[in-house]
Amino acid sequence: MDALKQLTAGQLKENAPEIVIGDTVKVHVNIKEGDRERIQVFEGTIIARNGSGIAETFTVRRVSYGVGVERVFPVHSPNVVKLETTRHGRVRRSKLYYLRDRVGKAAKVKEQIR
């Protein structure tokens, strides 16, 4: 078990991003298309955090052309280039799955002044 922890300790990001549920973030993801690479930005609200250590993930949700889109990103993935927080949300839950059933302005998270 100690060997497994040492193996994953080298793969963890030292400057892991500060992830808070309810925040609106821009996730810069490295996309490979054939032999070319580009960076794609996915902007949305963090609705969940799962796992711990090397297997930690977070789920980002946005509405694109009237359709809800959710993506799960590993925190320590080398493909997640950058994570920018655009606004802080004021929430009282650890999982915001109830936003899936809401439409329009009801699906927004109130902003927290920090």
Can you tell me the distance from the alpha carbon of 85 to that of 44, in angstroms, rounded to the nearest whole number?
10
pLDDT tens, 1-60? 566 566 566 778 777 778 899 999 999 999 999 999 999 999 999 999 999 888 999 999
Rg (CA), the chain: 16
Question: What structural domains and CATH numbers belong to the chain?
Answer: 2-101 (2.30.30.790)
The one-letter amino acid at 107: A
User: What is the value of pTM for the model shown?
Assistant: 0.85
